[in-house]
Every structure is written in structure tokens, then in C-alpha cells.
Amino acid sequence: MMELTNHGTLYEQWLQNPGIDEETKAELRAIEGQEKEIEDRFYKELEFGTGGLRGVIGAGTNRMNLYTVGKATQGLAQYLLRQGGNSPSVAIAYDSRHRSPEFALEAALVLAGNGVKAYLFESLRPTPELSFAVRHFGSSAGIVVTASHNPPEYNGYKVYGPNGGQLTTAAAGEVTAEIRSLDFADIRRLTREEAEAKGLLEWLGGEVDEAFVTAVTSASPNPQAAQANGGALKIVYTPLHGAGNVPVREVLRRAGFPHVAVVPEQELPDPDFSTVKSPNPEEKEAFRLAIELAKKDDADLIIGTDPDCDRMGAVVKNPEGDYFVLTGNQSGAIMIHYLLDSLKEQNKLPDNGLVIKTIVTSEMGADIARSYGVEVMNTLTGFKYIGEKMTEYEDGRYTFLFGYEESYGYLAGTYARDKDAVVASLLISEAAAYYKSQGKTLYDVLQELYGRFGHFLEALESRTLKGKDGLEKIGRIMDAWRNEPPAEVAGKAVTQALDYSQGLDGLPQENVLKYTLEDGSWFCLRPSGTEPKIKIYFSVKGETAEQSASELEALRRAVMSRIDE
């Protein structure tokens, strides 16, 4: 394994390595003498976070490039071969980002070089379709090349296990150990022609697409109602230059929604995401063009999906006729209510129904689920933990109904083990059509739910701290809160301090701190596993919107003043 203590030495090794291509070397020569830049590119190897790699595209050990992708894939191949079993295979998909097709093909050819068959999609596909494909083919693993909603200069590489969920913590640790034992010279690969001739590279297309779309539409809780009500609903959809354009439109068409207008400027793939600051449906700015189109069409609902189509954001009309962007928690609460209510009306609600959410997701959806007699379970942040629970309960103890997280990730149905913006687009559209038939908007439904369950209000703050210095600062912040927990915040006593690095509630150990106050409000500190930032989550519950807003602002001010010291 290469020694990483001297980034300057590594820089020179890359320049002198005959296995590194000339284009990469030219990029490195262009930063000669830029000590800080060289350090950032070489001070560490790009590491597995919550299921794989993610980083800025470029030359260096701490960058996304053909060599870091090849090395990660070599490690994955060795891990799979060590597991034994006959004829291991890996399904591979990718999104619209820079270098995604090249990285996906490189992964396929390295797998082939190790005798592992690769099923590679012929063009961009949604991440949830990759999860589906792993299960569909009974593959040993899956890879999706994506950086989700990160800025254009990023790309990533997520690894999935045989259940179709992101790689478990234990398995990721074993793959990481394999990767760390390697040098670039250890990477084995075939040419595309060799891989195809040996049957180790199979291209995927329409047949898998059809199976995926069929599986998604089957997750509808009441397809007859959707067909009856869908024609009255006007939808504006934006794929934000990503992989959702074809599958979302096809699923909505089949479900009975003929009036879907796509934002033309954002319809086609664009790795620069040139119409938005960030291709993230969590941010209102991403919906600017969609809202303009919705106003012209007098649309009832706006849907946006991120580049790899695993996150869905929705925008609805308020009583003033303005378009209101729902938070991930609000959309989740509405979908849970619609899903469970539909099943109950048809006497299809199982006695052992289960909703799974994360520890930083609002309790509103949980309270709604429990009102229908449905069990609710918490997991750590990251949909892979929801996927793990789904697999655990395949024994019949529970019937999985819905899984979600506040960051706009949702799943209904068991065809996949990752969040799916395609099925979320279907559910939110069905809900909008159903309630429109009753003379209500989704905004009206949300206010009714607040009236029944309390006015929950959440917020998320983050601080991006890049590079080695940023990583160390995030560590110091967590250490300070862990070693000196507050006795009170915003004038309210802290009644519970949870340190998930201790492995609480049967969950895996993770560097997360959560504090609950005497009135039930809470906040949580969590370093991101995929980005150079620390995230701070807040939640309050008041009797009115005004009370909740006031209490939330006080809580945010108190916590962030200490974070920013």
C-alpha cells in the first residue's frame, strides 16, 4: 500500500508512474508548486463513507478518477471472490454527471478482469432502479456512479449488497480493508471487447426498465382511485437535468396522470446543472423554473427529483394561490397519511404494518402511523439502515409499508432497498388527485394534520468545512459537545443526551449526538458521511405555527452560537 504521510512524494510518484495516463499527468503538472492544492489532493485516499466514495473529480488519491474507481472496484472484486459462491455478478448504473459513463465502464472492466460478471446499463438510470436490478438478477453486489445532489464538480461511487441495499457497515469495512491493501499496479482489467467476448459484460436496457416500472406502479395503495382522479390533476415535473425524466413520466402516465408538463430547460441531462445553483429538490431555488411554468399552467402540484432520482421534492398551492415548497418531513407525513388511509378504507391495512424512519426525521409521521395502529421504528441516518431493517423483517414479523428520511428520501413497496423518487412522485401525485376530488389541496391536508397531531416544525443547518483543516475542526466540534454536554438550551433543560457512538438502542455505532429538551423539542449534531460538512437538525412541536416558529428560532440561535464559536 502507498504511504500517505508525504503528499509531495505521492504527487511525484503519480507523475512518474507509467500506468498513469498523460492527461492525468498534465493536470498534475499544472498545479506544480501549489503546495496546498497538492496536499488536498494527496493527503489521504478517498475513503468509503456511507456506502462508497464521493469527492471532487480530478487527479490524486483524494479525488474521483479512473484510478480511484479502479482501485475501489478491485477491492470490491476481491471481497466478492473471498465470499465464495458460484459466478459472482455486479449490476452497475450511473447518472448524468461528468465522467459517470467512463467510471461505470471502468468498474465493469475491472470486475471482468477478476472474473466477476458485470450487468451495465446502456445509459443513465435512477439509483433505485440499480437497487431493483441487484435483486432482479440475484447479483452479489451493485454499483451506482453518482454524487446525488452535490455540486457539478463532484462524482461518487456507491456500493450495494446482495439485498439491493447500500453496503452494510461491516461489509463496507471489509471492502475498505481490501482497497487499502492495494496499489494501482494491482488493478486487473479487461478491454471492453474482451469482457463482452467472454460474457463478463452484459448491457442492460428496456427489459429491466419495464420490470422496474411495473414494480413501482404496483406499489400504489389504490390504483383504481388514481385512474379515476388523475385526469383532473395538473402536474409540473422537473428532473433537474438528471435520470428521472423517463421513468417518472412513464410511471405517472401508466397510473392515470395525463397532464404532466416537464420543465423544458431542465428536461435533458446536463452534468453542469446549468439552470440551478444546486440540483437539490431540498432547496426552493431549484424549483424556480418549475414554479414559473406552474403559474402559467395553473398547476396543482410540482414535483422535482435530484440527478440520480432517489430524492423527491414537492411544491403545492397555499390558500393565497402561491406555491409552497414542502419539506421532506411534510411530504413524508402527507404520504404516510394517504397511504395508510387508503389501505384502511379498503381493509388492506395489515395488523403487523411497519413504518421505518431515521432518528433525525420528524415525529409527526410516526404519530400519524401509530394512530393507524402501525409500528414505527427508528434507524440511524442513511437509507441503507432502513434497507437493512426491511431485509431483517422479511421473515414475516412485520409488513413493511413505508420508509423515509427528512432529506426527501422515500420508499413504498419492497422491490428495492433504497429511497426511490419514482415511487414518491407516484404517491404524492395520487394523494394530490385524491384530495382534489374532495376539494382539498395538499396544503389543506397538511394543516388538517397539524390540527390533529400538533404543529411540528423542523430545520437543518450545516457548516461546510473543506480539506484536512475542516475535517479536524468538525472533530473538535463533536468532541466539545460530547465532553461538555449542555445542561440547558434556550432556557429549557436538557432531559436526554444520546451519544450514538456508543451503539444505542441496538443500532450500529455512529458519530452522532442528539439532545432532547424538557418540552420534547430536540436537536442533533451529525458529521456528513458523504460531504465535508457537519449537519445540525432541529425539531419543535407547538400548538400554533407562530409558537413553533418562535421556539424553533430560539433553539437554532442558541445551538448555532456555540457551534460557530
Interaxial angle between packed helices 127-137 and 421-436, expressed in degrees from 0 to 180 and rounded to the nearest 10: 110
Asked if 148 is an active-site residue, the reply is yes
CA pair distance 341, 361, nearest whole angstrom: 21
CA torsion sign for 379, 384, 388, 389 is positive
Backbone angles phi, psi at 67, to 5 degrees: -75, -45
Q: How many residues can be counted in the chain? A: 565
CA pair distance 474, 547, nearest whole angstrom: 32
Active-site position among 89, 131, 148, 331? 148
Q: Report CA 230 to chain centroid distance, whole Å.
A: 28
What does the block give as the cell for 410? 422515500
CA pair distance 179, 187, nearest whole angstrom: 10
Task: Evaluate whether 390 touches 166 at the Cβ level (below 8 Å).
Answer: no
CA pair distance 491, 517, nearest whole angstrom: 10
Task: Evaluate whether 514 touches 522 at the Cβ level (below 8 Å).
Answer: yes
- For 332-363, give the DSSP string: HHHHHHHHHHHHHHTT---TTEEEEEETTS-S
CA pair distance 429, 423, nearest whole angstrom: 10
CB 511: neighbour CB atoms within 10 A? 15
What region does 99 belong to: left with phi over 0, alpha with psi -120 to 50, or beta?
left
Give the three-class secondary structure for 539.
strand
Give the three-class secondary structure for 164.
coil
- For 366-412, give the DSSP string: HHHHHHTT-EEEEE-SSHHHHHHHHHHGGGTTSEEEEEEETTTEEE-
Task: Evaluate whether 379 touches 507 at the Cβ level (below 8 Å).
Answer: yes
Q: Could you tell me which residues come within 8 angstroms of residue 111 by beta carbon, excluding any fewer than 6 positions away? A: 73, 76, 77, 90, 117, 118, 200
455-464/533-542 β-pairing:
antiparallel
Please list the active-site residues.
Answer: 148
